[in-house]
Amino acid sequence: MEAAHYGAPEPIRRILSEVRASAPDAEFTCDLAWSWRTAREGLRSADLWQDLGIAWIEDPMPRTRLSEIAFLRRHSRVPIGVGDETTRALDLEQLMDHEAVDVVRIDATTVGGFGPALKLAAAAMARGFRVSYHVNPEVHRHCVFADEAADHIEIFPADRPFDCSHVLIEQPAYSDIRKARLAPPSAPGTGLKLNDAALTRYAYRHALHQE
């Protein structure tokens, strides 16, 4: 659930309560998209939501604010997950070193590919942290199938306006879901085939001419 556009915790609680009532056994997260200004501000929200069974609060503040995130994690009764859009493995390593997270969020497409992503996942598992891969399920399902570091994949239906990379792919991963499980692709390699027509439509080409 994306909740960053709500300022106060009460409206978010109402939405979370509705989600919990409609899906009493479901596991869900609450994505704050770096919107909390201080850890103490966040604790007020976490305290208000703690009885709703949230799997974790995601990216409550920028990942470089280590001391505040660590404070939040120590005092929050809701687990904390951090790492979306991370481009430096060191940022995630420092979060683990400071025990500032419960869930390490990893994105192979931003952190340097499969090698760095799987290395981070192994380090997180070895130290007792949970691992969650950030969107791009066409890529990250291979990370999940490669080891046992993560137990789920973040994936959105194809009609979500905030996640539109699937329009460039012949068969998005969402279409491979069967009974809430994502099957491995049957094609050789990564199983990811780009849609040439979509690339032609959306590609931006330019040339620099020098006289």
The domains found in the chain, sorted by start residue, are 9-155 (3.20.20.120)
Per-residue confidence (pLDDT) for residue 123, from 0 to 100: 97
Q: What is the pLDDT of residues 164-208, one digit of tens each?
A: 777 888 888 888 888 888 888 777 777 788 889 988 888 877 766
Cβ contacts of residue 29 below 8 Å, gap of 6+?
1, 54, 55, 56, 57, 58, 81
Determine the average pLDDT of the residues in 52-60.
95
Which of the four pLDDT bands, split at 50, 70 and 90, describes residue 151?
confident
Report field, pTM of the whole predicted structure over 0.85: yes
What's the mean pLDDT when you consider all of the chain?
Answer: 89
Instruction: Report yes or no: 2 and 40 within 8 Å, Cβ to Cβ.
Output: no
